[in-house]
Chains A and B, each alone.
Chain A
Amino acid sequence: MKITVLGAGPAGLYFGILAKRADPSHEITVLERNPPDATFGWGVVFSAETLGSLRDADPPTYLEITDTFARWSAIDIHYRGTRLRSRGHSFSAIARKRLLAILQRRCREVGVDLRFGVDVSDPARLREQADLLVAADGVNSLTRRSAPEVFRPTVTPQGGRYAWFGTDLVLDAFTFIFRETEHGLFQVHAYPFDENTSTFIVECPEPTWRAAGLAEASEAQSIAFCERLFAEDLAGHRLMSNRSTWQTFPLVRNREWHDGHTVLLGDAAHTAHFSIGSGTKLAMEDAIALAGAISTNTDLEAALVEYELARQPVVERFQQAAGESVGYFQRVGEHTDREPIQFAFNLLTRSGRISHAALTVRDPDFTRVLDSWFSGTRGLAPPPAFAPLRIGNTLLRNRIVRTVPSADAGLVLTEAVAVTPDGRRGPDSPTLDTEQKSFVDEVHRLGALAGLRLGHAGPRGATREPTRGVDIPLPAEQSWPLIAASALPYGPRSATPRAMVAADFDRIESAFATGARQAAEVGFDLLELDFAQGGLLAGFFSPLTNHRTDEHDAGPAGRVRFALSVLRAVTARWPAARVLAARLSVTDWARGGLPVTDGIEIARALVAGGVGLIHVVAGQTVAEGRPTYGRGFLTTLSDRVRGAVGVPTLVGGYLTSVDEANTVLGAGRAELCLLESPSTDLDRQVWPG
Chain B
Amino acid sequence: MRLGIGLPSTTPGTDGAAILDWARTAENSPLTSLAVLDRLVYDSLDPFIALATAAAVTQRIGLATMIAIGPLRGGGLLTKQAGSLARVSGGRLTLGLGVGARLDDYRAAEAEHRTRGTRLSAQLTQLRTEPDTEEVELLVGGTSGAALARMARYADGYAHGGGPPRAFAAAADRARAAWSDLGRPGAPALWGQGYFALGGAADLEAGQAYLRDYYAFTGPFAAKIAAGCLCDARSVKDFVRGYQEVGCDELVLLPTSSDPAQLHRLLEVLGE
Contact A470 B227 (CB under 8 A): no
Against A, the Cβ 8 Å flags (1 = close, 0 = not) of B115-147 are 001100110111011000010001000001110
A493 touches B126 (CB 8 A): yes
Q: Chain A residues near B144 (CB, 8 Å)? A: 626
Report the separation of the CA atoms of residues A680 and B185 in the bound assembly, to the nearest whole angstrom.
Answer: 10
**With A and B bound together, what is the CA distance between A301 and B178 in angstroms?**
38
Out of B146, B152, B219, B221, name the residue touching A626 (CB < 8 Å).
Answer: B146
Taking a contact as CB atoms under 8 Å apart, the answer to whether A492 and B244 are in contact is no
Q: State which of B118, B124, B220 has its C-beta within 8 Å of the C-beta of A256.
A: B220
Q: How far is the CA of A270 from the CA of B166 in the complex (A)?
A: 21
Task: Check B2 for interface membership: any CB of A closer than 8 A.
Answer: yes
Q: Is A274 part of the binding interface, using a Cβ–Cβ cutoff of 8 Å?
A: no
Residue of B whose beta carbon sits closest to that of A656: B176
Which residues of A (608-650) have their CB < 8 Å from a CB of B?
Answer: 617, 619-620, 623-631, 633
Given A624-B117, A687-B240: A629 touches B219 (CB 8 Å cut-off): no
Q: Which of B12-20, B54-62, B153-161 is found at the contact surface with chain A?
A: B153-161
* Inter-subunit contact A623/B145 (CB<8 Å): no
- How far does the alpha carbon of A628 sit from the alpha carbon of B147 in the complex, in Å? 11
Interface size on B, residues (CB 8 A): 56
Q: Could you tell me if B224 and A308 are in contact, using CB atoms closer than 8 angstroms?
A: yes
CA–CA, A497 to B227, complex, Å? Answer: 52
Whether B129 lies near A687 (C-beta < 8 A) is no
Q: Which residue of B lies closest to A617 (CB)?
A: B181
Question: Cα distance A473–B128 when bound, in Å?
Answer: 9
Enumerate chain A residues within 8 angstroms of B49, measured Cβ to Cβ.
none
Expressed in whole angstroms, the minimum distance between the Cβ of B187 and any Cβ of chain A is: 5
Known contacts A308-B224, A313-B167, A680-B186; A625 and B125 CB within 8 A of each other: no
Residue interface bits B161-188, CB-to-A below 8 A is 1, else 0 = 0001011000001111110111111110
B145 touches which of A259, A467, A629, A652 (Cβ 8 Å)? A629
Q: Does A468 contact B (CB under 8 A)?
A: yes
- List of A residues within 8 angstroms of B122 by Cβ: 492-493
Among A313, A620, A627, point to the contact of B166 (Cβ < 8 A).
A313
With A468-B128, A620-B181, A654-B177 in contact, is A686–B244 under 8 Å at CB? Answer: yes
Contact call A681/B186, Cβ cutoff below 8 A: yes
> Are the C-beta atoms of A686 and B1 separated by less than 8 Å?
yes
Give bound CA distance, A619 to B134, whole Å.
27
Question: Which A residues are in CB contact (< 8 Å) with B82?
Answer: none
Q: A589 an interface residue at 8 Å Cβ cutoff?
A: yes
Contact A468 B30 (CB under 8 A): no
A492 to B119 Cα, complex, angstroms: 8
Distance, CA A493 to CA B126, complexed state (A): 8
Known: A492-B118, A685-B2, A687-B1. A676 touches B156 (CB 8 A): no
B149 proximal to A (CB < 8 A)? yes
Cβ-based interface call for B3 (8 A) = yes
Within the assembled complex, what's the spacing in Å between the Cα atoms of A685 and B249? 9
Please give the distance in Å from B63's CB to the nearest CB on chain A.
19
Interface residue B242 (Cβ < 8 Å from any Cβ of A): no
A111 CB within 8 Å of chain B: no
Assembled-state Cα–Cα distance A469/B155 (Å): 6
Q: Which of chain B's residues 71-122 have a Cβ closer than 8 Å to chain A?
A: 117-118, 121-122
- CB neighbors of B among A462-510 (8 A): 464, 466-473, 475, 491-493
Q: Is A101 an interface residue (CB 8 A)?
A: no
Whether B145 lies near A684 (C-beta < 8 A) is no
Minimum CB–CB distance from B133 to chain A (whole Å) comes to: 11
| A52 on the B face (CB < 8 A) | no
State A627–B118 Cα separation when bound (angstroms).
Answer: 15
Q: Answer yes or no: B233 CB below 8 A from chain A CBs.
A: no
Say whether, besides A468-B156, A626-B146, A305 and B227 are in contact (CB < 8 Å): yes
Can you list 19 A-B contacts with CB-CB less than 8 angstroms, sorted by A residue number?
A258-B220, A301-B223, A308-B224, A309-B227, A313-B166, A466-B185, A472-B128, A472-B154, A491-B125, A493-B125, A493-B126, A619-B181, A620-B181, A625-B149, A627-B148, A627-B178, A631-B173, A652-B180, A684-B247
B152 to chain A minimum Cβ distance, whole angstroms, is 8
Which of B129, B181, B183, B228 makes the CB contact (< 8 A) with A473? B129
Bound together, the chains give a CA A617 to CA B129 distance in angstroms of: 29
Q: Are A623 and B121 closer than 8 Å at their CB atoms?
A: yes
What chain B residues lie within 8 Å of A256 (beta carbons)? Answer: 219-221
| Contact in complex: B227, A302 (CB < 8 Å) | yes
Interface check B200, CB cutoff 8 A: no
A623-B122 Cα distance, complex, nearest whole Å? 11
Chain A residues with CB under 8 A of B118? 492, 624
Partner of A469, one of B146, B153, B180: B153
Q: In the assembly, what is the distance between CA of A511 and CA of B168, in Å?
A: 47
Give Cα A468–Cα B133 distance, bound, in whole angstroms. Answer: 12
- The distance in angstroms between the C-alpha atoms of A313 and B171, with both chains bound, is 13
Q: Does A441 contact B (CB under 8 A)?
A: no
The 10 closest A-B pairs by CB, nearest first: A654-B177, A492-B122, A629-B177, A627-B145, A629-B174, A492-B125, A493-B125, A469-B154, A305-B227, A305-B223
User: In the complex, A685→B32 CA distance in Å?
Assistant: 12
Contacts of A688 in B (CB 8 A): 30, 270-271
Contact A491 B121 (CB under 8 A): yes
Task: Give every chain B residue within 8 A of A689 (Cβ-Cβ).
Answer: 30
Instruction: A623-B121, A654-B181, A680-B186 are known; give 16 further A-B pairs, CB within 8 A.
Output: A305-B224, A309-B224, A309-B227, A466-B185, A469-B138, A492-B121, A492-B122, A493-B122, A493-B126, A624-B117, A627-B145, A627-B149, A629-B177, A629-B181, A631-B173, A687-B30
Q: Which residue of A lies closest to B240 (CB)?
A: A687
Question: Is A306 engaged at the interface, CB distance under 8 Å to the other chain?
Answer: yes
Is there a chain B Cβ closer than 8 Å to A653's Cβ? yes
In Å, the complex CA distance between A589 and B234 comes to 44
B182: nearest residue on chain A (CB-CB)? A470
Closest to A152 in B: B219
Interface residues in A574-622 by Cβ distance below 8 A to B read 589, 617, 619-620
Whether A679 is near chain B, meaning CB under 8 Å from some CB there, is yes
B140 to chain A, nearest CB (A): 11
CA of A653 to CA of B178, assembled, Å:
9
For B3, give its contact among A150, A466, A626, A687 (CB under 8 Å): A687
Point out the residues of chain B lying under 8 angstroms from A258, CB to CB.
Answer: 220
Which of these, B30, B177, B249, contacts A631 with CB under 8 Å? B177
Closest partner residue, chain B, to A491 (CB atom): B125
Point out the residues of chain B lying under 8 angstroms from A653, CB to CB.
177, 181
Chain B residue with the shortest CB-CB distance to A618: B181
- Complex Cα distance, B219 from A345, in Å, reads 45
Interface pair B228/A309, CB less than 8 Å apart: yes
Which residues of the partner chain A approach B271 to less than 8 Å between Cβ atoms? 688
Taking the closest CB of chain A, its distance from the CB of B105, in whole angstroms, is 21
B177: chain A residues at CB < 8 Å are: 629-631, 633, 653-654
> A629 CA to B177 CA in the complex, in Å?
6
Which residues of B sit under 8 angstroms from A684, Cβ to Cβ?
1, 244, 247, 249
Q: What's the Cα separation between A259 and B152 when bound, in Å?
A: 38
Contacts of A469 in B (CB 8 A): 124, 128, 138, 153-156, 184
Interface string of A669-689 (1 = CB under 8 A from B): 000000010011100111111
Among B211-265, those with CB < 8 Å from A are: 219-221, 223-224, 226-228, 240, 244, 247, 249
Could you say which residues of chain B place their CB within 8 Å of the CB of A491? 121, 125, 153
> A467 and B227 in contact (CB under 8 A), knowing A493-B125, A629-B145, A689-B30?
no
Chain B residues with Cβ below 8 Å from A473 are 125, 129
Q: A624-B121, A688-B30 are known contacts. Are A629 and B148 too (CB-CB below 8 A)?
A: yes
Within 8 Å CB of A309, what residues of B?
224, 227-228
Do B153 and A630 have beta carbons less than 8 Å apart? Answer: no
Q: Which of A289-327 contact B (CB under 8 A)?
A: 301-302, 305-306, 308-309, 313
Rounded to whole angstroms, the CA-CA distance of A258 and B30 in the bound complex is 42
